[in-house]
Structures are given as structure tokens and as C-alpha cells.
Chains A and B, each alone.
Chain A
Amino acid sequence: NAGVTQTPKFQVLKTGQSMTLQCAQDMNHEYMSWYRQDPGMGLRLIHYSVGAGITDQGEVPNGYNVSRSTTEDFPLRLLSAAPSQTSVYFCASRIDRVGSSYNSPLHFGNGTRLTVT
């Protein structure tokens, strides 16, 4: 199994450009999520999905769109990039056990380092 795969690894955008960060997992995980990591701020949740066709907002959703058409893929779209979106982006997935009162561990991809000039 490849686990969680993110592409690209690095990306430079100009302000106003759009792009899609790709995330795919081959573990049949229902739950997928996107985080951004900035120095001193830890990992902040952008959007998450509990299954195909279902998405919801996290802590910092503004400026980002997501969709979940399949269990495997969870792309993150930046419609009009801004310098404030310069960050490292991580996709993470987990298996959700039906009826469990606590969440399973997250499996992270290797990240995408995005710079917006």
C-alpha cells in the first residue's frame, strides 16, 4: 500500500492564480482531511470529509474548496491564491469505526509546500 499520496510536493503560484492540491489514499479510509502548517501555529484543519459526497469545514476554511466524489480522492482547491496561503499542506486520512466513541489515528501524506508570491 502507498498510504496517503499528495501531489505536487512543491508549488509556486502568483497571487490570483488557482490550483488544485491532490490527495489520494489506498487504505479504504472513509475519513479524509486537509491541514495547513505554519510556524508556531501547529496544524490547522481546513476541511474534512467523512465519506464520498460529504464534506464539512474545519478551523480555517476560507479561500479553499473541497469535494469528495470517491472514497480514494480528496482534492483541495485554491480558487484565487493569496500570499497568506503560503504554507505546508498535509492531507490525512483515518478509518472510522462505526459505533466507536473515539477517533482512530490519522495517516498523513508527505505534504505539499506552497509559496504564493
Chain B
Amino acid sequence: GQQVMQIPQYQHVQEGEDFTTYCNSSTTLSNIQWYKQRPGGHPVFLIQLVKSGEVKKQKRLTFQFGEAKKNSSLHITATQTTDVGTYFCAAHTGGFKTIFGAGTRLFVKA
């Protein structure tokens, strides 16, 4: 079945450092979504990428969708303690299912 690989599994950063998580699929995706889950909470939608090579920004967060629509990344510039949580990519190949990556847990030390 469809699989989405997400790395790294976790990352510790000092506040102010940058952070990046990567998502890769062996199949071409119709679109990819990113979610954030705070500790003890539920996943919350951040953004959706649809077009090949698409780049979207939300303040300090930059999201990219690969040219081949098989990979994506989320980059956070100058992390803050409020960025703590687990970031998930969620992929679609055109069907009804939304398949999530394993997530990257971000720890930020003040």
C-alpha cells in the first residue's frame, strides 16, 4: 500500500535555531497536507500543497512540494518554544484515503 516516509523521527533544537522535516513517497501524490499536534492534543491542519514545485509560507514556516510531487518539506526559521509538538505530513494519491507519515517530534530548549 501507499507509504509515506518522514524524517527525522525527532529533533532537539535550541530556541532560535532552524528546523526542517522531510516527507517522501515512492508514488506521485495529488497533494500533500501538513498538520501540527501539540503534546496531549490532536492534529491541526496547517497547509495544503497541490502544485508541482509549490512553495508556501506562513510567518516563520516554509512549506515546499517537490517538482516530481513525491516529496515535501517543512522548514521553521528561528524556532520558538511555541513550535514544540509533532509535525505530520499527510499524502493523497487521488483516492479517498489520507495516509500520514510517522511524524517528526520537535523539542525546543529555551
Query: Counting chain A CB atoms within 10 Å of each CB, which of B35, B45, B98 scores highest?
Result: B98
From B6, B45, B92, A42 is in contact (CB under 8 Å) with: B6
From B1, B45, B88, A59 is in contact (CB under 8 Å) with: B1
By size class, the interface of chain B is: 20 to 34
> Which A residues touch B31, using CB under 8 A?
102-103
Binding site for A on B (CB under 8 A): 1, 6, 9, 30-31, 33, 35, 41-45, 48, 50, 88, 90, 92, 94, 96-103
10 contacts between A and B (CB under 8 A): A35-B100, A40-B102, A42-B100, A59-B99, A90-B43, A102-B48, A102-B50, A106-B35, A106-B98, A111-B42
Binding site for B on A (CB under 8 A): 31, 33, 35, 40-45, 48, 50, 56, 58-59, 90, 92, 96, 101-103, 105-111
